[in-house]
Amino acid sequence: MSNRPLTDQETEELRKLAELPDSEIDTSDIAEISEEQWRLARKGHLYRPLKQPVTIRLDADVVAWFKEHSGGRGYQTGINNALRAYIAASGKRR
């Protein structure tokens, strides 16, 4: 995706499209999604939460464990996933 700003022409085209009622939008060239495709769908796959850099002091053995078990994704991602799983398991969110 490009981060460039929309041109006036693109903005006007989007405004006109937004005003169209659903009944006037032609989707006949879009294939229906099969049950198999829905079965394989992953919710939130493209969602990328905003990351915030922090400084945190962890025990050396904890860091070493995550580095050894990172599975090629990076140990910080593993720590983040563990913290996210803890939050989900505790049932407490903001």
pLDDT of residue 92: 66
Sequence-distant (6+) residues with CB within 8 A of 78 are 66, 69, 70, 71
* Global confidence as pTM: 0.49
Going residue by residue through the chain (94 aa), what tens digit of pLDDT does each one get? 567 899 999 999 999 989 999 999 888 999 999 999 988 888 777 777 889 999 999 999 999 999 999 877 789 999 999 999 999 999 865 5
Sequence-distant (6+) residues with CB within 8 A of 50 are none
User: Taking the mean position of all CA atoms in its chain, how far away is CA 82?
Assistant: 17
Residue 30 DSSP one-character state: S
